Amino acid sequence: MRLATLLALLLTLAPLSALAQTLVRDGRPVARIYFTPSDPLETAAEELNYHLGKMSGATLEVVRTADPAAVKGPALVLGDLAVRMGATPQDRTPSAEGFRLLTKGETLLIGGESDEAALFGAYAMLETLGVDWVMPGEIGEVIPHRATVTLRPLDESQRPDFSMRRLWYRGGADTVTREDKARMEVWLRRQRAGVFRPVSAETAGHYWPTFIKRHKAAFDADPSLYALRRDAEGRLVRRGPQIETTDPRIVAMMAQDIRDTFEKKGWPRDRTVGFPIGPADTAGYSLSPESAAAGWGPPDPITGEPDQTDLLVKLANEVLAALGPDYPNVHLGFYSYASHQGYPGRYTPDPRVAVIFAPINFSRYHALTDPGSRSQPLYRAVFDQWAALARRQGNPLLYRGYNWNLAENMLPYSKLRIWGEELAYYRDAGVAGLNVEATKAWGVNGPSDWLFMQLAWDASQDWRALLADYCAKAFGAGAEPMRRYLLRLTEAQRAAGQEAGSYHAIPLIYDHAFVAAAQADISEAERLATLPAEKERIAHFRSGVDLLDLYLAYHEAANRFDFGTALQRYEAMHAAWNGYQARNPDIVAREAPVYLERFIGPFVREAARHQVLQPLPEQLRTGFGDGDYQDPAFDDSAWPLTSTWASTWDAQRLTGQRVWYRHRFTLTAQEAAAPLRLFLGGFDDRAVVWLNGRRMGDSGRRFSAPVVFELTGATAGENLLAVEIVRDHPLNEIGVGGLIRPSFLFSR
């Protein structure tokens, strides 16, 4: 028998106690921590002692040395000192974050490509002891208690699947406090979120407004540098914030800005660096013949607008050409997003053109791999084309996503399955990094955020197994009912087949039976959990369920035109949010009341002020496109009935930029003698109203906001109301359109 085989056999037969490395025995420190001083390694030593102290009551002596001969076991050795003693990471990474844990006798070596990597190795060592961090703050720390702390023998190397793993709180100081950010920074460090930025990350941003500001004098002197677009009256005018990219002067100015940046910063011309060239975060792209000629293909299937991807690729190629061979490693990029989320058909991107995928216009309830989604296959087809191009010629790719259901961040939501299916797909396609904008709502998004960080490091892990691990650590004996709730939530939002965003699809996905089952799961978990911290974490999940119960009650009351009750339920949502915010500021998103007030508050308060004379039917005769549909003589009997506020356009498979509703109503002589008004509760996004063929008014753009129209000329008997809804903005929210809230006639 070979010696190595014999030794391996002896190790397998040896009792664990003979192999384990003891750090603390009966509450007394046994080992020491050795490292050559640096900020990351000082942090590593502090974190090791913090967690070992909470675990056992003991902290280890710290020895700062660069001499391997000074190390005496039992010991934990960190950083370059550990590398020199044999813990060389097996893989090299662009972000220098690979590390190795290696047991040698009574010593554990934690070596890394960098000191930051060794810090990550220290956290990985703590995880082998059962430590984890399920949310920011002390309440999120999972630290088992034991008087004796031992380590099993280790020899493992780790490296991240993505060189950029960024999850960041959105909003300014009024949304996220300094204290919020500090807790999040600690949590992210413990989850091994790096600070490396690939060159593609440097090319992200809505750049054109900044470009206009930088060259304000040139734009003021010649407005033809602005995009050619239509104003509210339909006239063609030159106006920002988009620009006329086909003008050679734009290309020249962008190229010169890059040269100036190199000179100002003293960079060598062969430096690898990225610059953004993407448009403003809005519509209004140029309608000039030159810009139209640069485009390609049919309109974007989601927004209905001409896709601008070719326009951006042309701009990037021309700026790179203007820079010439003197700047060989400059990269330019833009978001694949909104009206420029396609794949170029006319121009082949230079290999130095980076693409940052920000799929904001596709279903937020499904992964791009989900065949049950209607919109995600469109995104996947575009993504696959870019990924194939990247494999051929090396174009950098980056993912820029979101952790919440945009424009609604207080109700139950899950990205568990989405992250579980998508991140491995992105890794295999060569995406360099993940840059995810987060809303601070750990009572809703906590499991998804934790799972995201796990998969961002190692995307090969099974998301269901990770969820089970999360629940066991976070909820103890209450793990199973909480796992059951989170899986039911995940499956409910996927299986419902809904894709409309914000609050609109919520009543089509969840009902009171879902709420009752969720509350039962949470109550059972609280009863089974034994530790106060476990019970408190479980209680955090009541926030989303309680708010969902109130939202459904609000929605039902509004749909039956009981606006007084709806207003009470609306105010109760604010009160419930305030209670959870006071309990722990990390539980709920500080923007939630802002979204409520923006999208619901004006409607329900204004509706409650009026006495309904006649409600508009929920289903109305509906036509699309242009025509004299305000004419009472027009025969609309062939028009279909479509739902307005009780369903969504997505659910009904409707789409269009202009929709008409016609409704005939009857007034008594007394009713006709009184002033008559029309309350439109909300629409997407401009309403024009006619009564009996006469134009009553134009709301202007007012997405989701209520408007009151004076209806003059109503007569006793039958009247015809025609409402034209025009979508001036290509996308206010996915999956909605036309009338989106209850509407009615009133006189006082």
Residue tagged 């391996």 (tokens): 8
Assess whether pLDDT exceeds 90 at residue 198.
yes
The mean pLDDT value for 641-659 works out to: 94
pLDDT, tens digit (0-9, with 9 covering 90-100), for 65-102: 999 999 999 999 999 999 999 999 998 999 999 999 99
3-class SS at 149? Answer: strand
Distance from C-alpha of 95 to C-alpha of 166, rounded to nearest angstrom: 13
Task: Give exposure, 276-286, as e/b (b: 16+ Cβ within 10 Å).
Answer: bbbbbebbbbb
Q: Would you state the structure tokens that stand for residue 141, as one six-digit string?
A: 């720390």
Nearest to 378 by CA among 323, 299, 456, 444: 299
Bridge partners (DSSP) listed for residue 620? 642
Residue tagged 């959870």 (tokens): 580
Confidence of residue 19 (pLDDT cuts 50, 70, 90): low
Assess whether pLDDT exceeds 60 at residue 142.
yes
The pLDDT score that the predictor gives to residue 4 is 37
What the chain holds in terms of domains, given with CATH numbers, is: 16-159 (3.30.379.10), 205-330 (no CATH), 489-608 (no CATH), 612-746 (2.60.120.260)
How does DSSP classify residue 430? Answer: T
Nearest to 111 by CA among 123, 92, 98: 98
The pLDDT score that the predictor gives to residue 727 is 87
Distance from C-alpha of 367 to C-alpha of 418, rounded to nearest angstrom: 5
Confidence of residue 231 (pLDDT cuts 50, 70, 90): confident
pLDDT, tens digit (0-9, with 9 covering 90-100), for 56-67: 999 999 999 999
pLDDT, tens digit (0-9, with 9 covering 90-100), for 516-563: 999 999 999 999 999 999 999 999 999 999 999 999 999 999 999 999
Bridge partners (DSSP) listed for residue 164? 433
Nearest to 360 by CA among 405, 392, 414, 393: 405
The pLDDT score that the predictor gives to residue 302 is 73
What would you report as the CA-atom Rg of the chain, rounded to the nearest whole angstrom? 30
Dihedral sign for Cα atoms in the order 690, 696, 698, 703: negative
Assess whether pLDDT exceeds 80 at residue 15.
no
Q: How many CB atoms lie within 10 A of CB 739?
A: 25
- Three-point CA angle 646, 282, 425, nearest 5°: 75
**What does the mean pLDDT of the chain come to?**
94
Q: What share of the chain in percent tops pLDDT 90?
A: 91
β-pair type (32-35, 132-133)? unpaired
Distance from C-alpha of 515 to C-alpha of 552, rounded to nearest angstrom: 10
Distance from C-alpha of 128 to C-alpha of 151, rounded to nearest angstrom: 8
Assess whether pLDDT exceeds 50 at residue 680.
yes
Residue tagged 């003059």 (tokens): 712
Contact 164, 426 (CB under 8 A): no
How does DSSP classify residue 274? Answer: E
- Give the H or E element holding residue 526: helix 512-528
Nearest to 300 by CA among 343, 263, 332, 259: 343
Distance from C-alpha of 309 to C-alpha of 306, rounded to nearest angstrom: 9
The pLDDT score that the predictor gives to residue 13 is 39
Contacts of 367 (CB under 8 A, 6+ apart): 373, 376, 417, 418, 420, 421, 422
Residue tagged 């990597």 (tokens): 117
pLDDT, tens digit (0-9, with 9 covering 90-100), for 299-356: 777 777 789 999 999 999 999 999 999 999 999 999 999 889 999 999 999 999 999 9
Sheet containing strand 694-701, strands side by side: 641-643, 619-624, 658-667, 717-726, 686-691, 694-701
Q: Phi/psi at 145 (nearest 5 deg)?
A: -100, 130
The pLDDT score that the predictor gives to residue 300 is 75
Q: What is each CA distance from 579 to 411, 542, 544, 576, in whole angstroms? A: 15, 11, 12, 5
Contact 100, 157 (CB under 8 A): yes
Higher pLDDT, 187 or 701: 187
3-class SS at 746? Answer: strand
Q: How many CB atoms lie within 10 A of CB 217?
A: 8
The pLDDT score that the predictor gives to residue 305 is 79
- Give the H or E element holding residue 652: helix 649-652
